[in-house]
Amino acid sequence: MTDENKKPVLRAERDPDDAPRGDKPKRGKDSGSRKGNGNGKTPAGGKPARKRRSLFGRLVVFTLSLGFLGAIVGVLGIFAVLNYYGQDLPDHTQLAEYDPPVATRIYAGDGRLITEYAVQRRVFVPVEAMPRQLIDAFISAEDQNFYSHPGLDFKGLARAVLTNIKNYGTGRRPEGASTITQQVAKNFLLTNEVSIERKIKEAILSFRIEQAFSKDHILELYLNEIYLGGGSYGVSAAALNYFNKSLDQLTIGEMAYLAALPKAPNNYNPYRNREAAIERRNWVIGRMLEDGHITPAEAERARAEPLTVRPREDTELVENGAYFAEEVRRELQNRYGDTGLYEGGLAVRTSLDPELQSIATRVMREGLLDYDRRHGWRGPVAHLDDLNDWSRALQDIEKPAAALEDWRLAVVLEVSADRARIGLSDHAGTIPFEEAKWARKWLENQRYGAQPKDMHDVLEAGDVVLVEPVSEEDAADGAPEAPDARTTDSPPADATDTYALRQVPDINGALVAMDPHTGRVLAMVGGFSLNASEFNRATQAWRQPGSAFKPFVYMTALANGYTPASIILDAPVEFDQGPGLPKWKPKNYSGEYYGPSTLRIGIEKSRNLMTVRLAHAVGMDAVADTAVRFGVFDDMPELLSYSLGAGETTVLRMTTAYAQIVNGGKKITPTLIDRVQDRTGRTVFRHDDRACTDCKGVFWTGQGVPSVPDAREQVIDPVTAYQMTSILEGVVKRGTGRRIAELGIPLAGKTGTTNDSLDTWFMGFSPDLVVGVFVGFDDPRTLGPRETGSSVAAPIFKDFMAAALDGKKTPFRIPPGVQLVRVSHDTGRPAMPGDSDVILEAFKPGQTPYNQRRLDGTTYAVGPGGVGDDTYADGTLDGLGGDAGGFGGGMDSGGLPGSTGGGTAPGYGERPTASGGGGGGGAPQAGGLY
């Protein structure tokens, strides 16, 4: 082969160790030690020899391979962790419907706030209604990259790590990297547990939340839920509590302060840590400037602002409505449960009239205090044997829970005949004898001792008593002198207060005021003080109404043919209660018997014997039916003792029953709540559920008032209801309630007193206001000799009506069908010339005295059997039978434990009907020939 045909050796085919030909080193003998033919060339047909890879190269390859493998394992591990912790997470989609716990507010009828019920004080504000700068302040402080990250801020996380490394060992608080989304996940769906597991779940939920909701929705959740200290949940509540402002009134500095609070509200409390609070606020302002949310000038002004906290003004609440509000709370709790009540954000419009409520509370307290003082002084709250350190000892004595707000505890330091010098926690004072002369010694069974002659009969040094400040003009004597410094602590020398001696009443009571046409409860008092007892005696105390029940017996008679002029015998009567039992002998309260009397007089004078005879004449089944229809009882035993008020009922039930008398016999349902709206404003309950198609969306253009149907049930004939109203008006004018007539206002009512004066009542009304009053001990015992509904309950009713009506005179409305006839009050006969006791009596058509058959020119038909019927002329009723027991307690006198009763008295015949009457068609009478 010629040289031209030889293939040139390329550089890539040369041995790497070959040097260029011109530089080829000369080899010695040792050079032949390599494989080859000794001339330095690769043997024919052989492979070129390779140099081994360096150690560094192998290390790099190994590291890269290991890293790649680790990355795969890491990804798989992360996937496994996410899969493991992502399986049982809370459902984040529930955040789509955000219903935060919001306070339920109770409003009076005039729109004023009564009280609030809440677990968290929060005011929800949609994000669209929040100022943009407020949102920017929170984003700058809490999550600068909020609008760009997917739930986790990796850039912020890295920055926080570097910052914490830099600050390590400086004592500064570690910087967090939780995003707003993560905080939402934690606050709504997780707990505050500090653990890696919780952080992993938080991260997973953050990704899911970001995918499911808009950024604005996440902000709305966050800004309404976040706790900002001071009992403030959400930014709106915080603005009110810290600055007494709404969100749109906040300055940049105030917004920045609120945004500074989420990390640690207590650390930046403006009272305890003012400097730290200002420093943190200024830091937020700097972040807002850095992020371009405010200008340098705005930042400078915001930093210069003083941090002025203006606590939220106390909302003006309706005073004295504690028992009413508590009753509303119970009803709401029964209707909507605890969650709906305390977290549902309900707006409850009640029927409460604040003015009437204030009057009711005042007159009830005054009435109980008046009764309590009449029955004597039960002694001091405590007694100190050693007066050397009385001031400190006084601080250790607890003020009685039922004591009124302006009552204070005081120590009697020295007693003289005309005064007692006292020491209070901060000064000295005096109790003139004129302010303690009521304090006769209390005796058992509500009796009392002799009138005290001077202060020594009432107090002694060391007594701890309740006192109330009074003006010196009202007190009998002047200013106190300083206590003796040798034996007592020394109060301020300039103290000149004058006080009256007080004690918490041992008795209690209730009052209900109602609109008789709608059943709306306008005022309610359930006791002397809710602080001492939440027991509501207006709705929860079941007590015997006594004679206050009698109108329902007499209305039953009026509905069955009797008239107000019907004659009933008031004479002794006794009933056989059964084998082995004594006879029941009811008596009048006075112990006297008054002979034949009109039905009207039986109510006006509250005659027990007349009531029992009448109840037996018309039948206790009919009386029970009336009582149930009026709502006095749910189920009434047909026992004669119940005609005298032996059953148990409540003040609210009795008030409702009397309301149905004055409103013309219309059925009403008592209510404290007019309307309930949920947090969105949707009405979920309305007491008046009548349909009014012409009431919605109508502007007044001169058209007539829409007509709303009256769907109330008629529980008794309107004429019968008016007849009873007229009779009860006579109770006030001439009967047991005549002390109320002093007001000169059209009023009607009935007293009630049970055996041994255990319960005292007055139930009464004007044409548009019905009021029930009860007074008695919680553990039933006598109110004392000569204490009745007229002396205890009626004065409270009188004081209430005097203030509530303020002289307004509205006559009682007379329904169609009533015939008014001039009659003699004492006899019920048509008035004659010269009669001095003439009244206008209400009769139904066909029942006037002129329609009755007159016998022998002077008398009227008597007895269901007609002329000559001498049934019960001797006043004895036999044959009532009864398997066991008796007729029950609770009458004005003479009651015995209950019995089934039964039977019809011999010779008495059938009870009269509405169309018939004794003695030739006249109105029926009860009691025989007289």
Q: Contact, 609 vs 588, CB < 8 A? A: yes
Element (H, E) at 181: helix 180-189
- Tell me if 220 sits within 8 A of 126, measured CB to CB: yes
Task: Look up tokens 């205090």; give the residue.
Answer: 369
Let me know the angle formed at the C-alpha of 423 by 532 and 390, rounded to the nearest 5 degrees: 85
Q: For 218-286, what is the HEC assignment?
A: HHHHHHHHCECCCCCECHHHHHHHHHCCCHHHCCHHHHHHHHCCCCCHHHHCCCCCHHHHHHHHHHHHH
Phi, psi (rounded to 5 degrees) for 323: -65, -40
Active site residue 142: yes
Most distant CA pair in the chain, distance = 182
DSSP classification of residue 912: P
At 856, the amino acid letter reads D
How many whole angstroms separate alpha carbon 621 and alpha carbon 624? 5
Cα gap 24→712, rounded to integer Å = 129
Of the residues 178, 232, 547, 824, only one is catalytic, namely: 547
**Within a 10 A sphere around the Cβ of 291, how many other Cβ atoms?**
13
According to DSSP, the residues that pair with 759 across neighbouring strands are 776
DSSP of 812-881, one letter per residue? Answer: PP--TT-EEEEEETTT-SBP-TT-SSEEEEEE-TT-SGGGSPEETTTEE--STT-TT--TTTTSEE----
CB atoms within 10 A of CB 623: 26
- 638 and 625 in contact (C-beta within 8 Å)? no
What DSSP string runs through 190-227? S----SHHHHHHHHHHHHHHHHHS-HHHHHHHHHHH-B
Q: For the beta carbon of residue 33, count every other beta carbon within 10 angstroms.
A: 8
- Cβ atoms < 10 Å from Cβ of 101: 17
**Which residue matches tokens 């009464």?**
764
Whole-number Å distance between alpha carbons of 541 and 327: 13
- Report the residue count for the chain: 930
Among 895, 547, 468, CA closest to 735: 547
Cβ neighbours of residue 148 closer than 8 Å, sequence gap 6 or more: none
Give the end-to-end CA distance of the chain in Å, rounded to a whole number: 175
- Please answer whether residues 802 and 780 qualify as being in contact, where contact means their C-beta atoms are separated by less than 8 angstroms: no
Q: At which residue do the structure tokens 């020594």 appear?
A: 456
Instruction: Point out the catalytic residue in the list 142, 225, 343, 414.
Output: 142
Name the one residue in this structure whose structure tokens are 């004895």. 876
For residue 541, give both structure tokens: 């105390």
How many other CB atoms are found less than 10 A from the CB of residue 699?
A: 5
Judge contact between 456 and 431, C-beta under 8 A.
Answer: no
Q: Which of 614, 665, 672, 670 lies closest to 643 in space, CA to CA?
A: 614
> C-alpha angle 732/510/330, rounded to 5°?
140
For the chain, what is the radius of gyration of the CA atoms? 46
The answer to whether 641 and 623 are in contact (CB under 8 A) is: no
791 in catalytic set = no
CA-based nearest residue to 235, from 262, 267, 200, 268: 262
Return the active site residues.
142, 547
